């Protein structure tokens, strides 16, 4: 999974080809939920905007731990799941 993101990252300002909404919860959907709460499409856009190589994640779960919004305030996330079933359908999954 990381290699895909790294591959996409090498191209400046890459745009997704398509988008669909998540239907069931997964680790990937959880992380997308966190990026989208902070105002980004996904990890790719976050890394482009913030010019960072790594996103801070919880070692136990692999979920995103902390994100910096565009206005430079920080969002901190729990190590457990935060995206509830009722919110799963709001998560946008982008395809590159």
Rounded to two decimals, the pTM is 0.86
Residue-wise pLDDT tens digits, 18-47? 999 999 999 999 999 999 999 999 999 999
Domain spans in the chain, listed from the N-terminal domain onward: 25-95
CA-closest candidate to residue 47, choices 94, 78, 11, 95:
11
User: Is the confidence at residue 79, as pLDDT, over 90?
Assistant: yes
d(CA 46, CA 63) in angstroms, rounded, equals: 15
CA distances for 42 relative to 23, 61, 84, angstroms: 17, 18, 18
Residue-wise pLDDT tens digits, 56-75? 999 999 999 999 999 999 99
């Amino acid at each position: 999974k990381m290699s895909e993101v790294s591959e996409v990252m090498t191209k400046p300002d890459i745009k997704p080809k398509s988008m669909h909404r998540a239907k069931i919860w997964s680790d990937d959907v959880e992380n997308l939920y966190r990026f989208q709460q902070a105002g980004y499409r996904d990890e790719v856009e976050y890394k482009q905007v913030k010019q960072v190589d790594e996103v801070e994640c919880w070692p136990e779960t692999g979920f995103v731990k902390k994100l910096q919004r565009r206005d430079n305030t920080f969002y901190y996330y729990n190590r457990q799941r935060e995206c509830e079933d009722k919110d799963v359908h709001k998560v946008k999954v982008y395809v590159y």
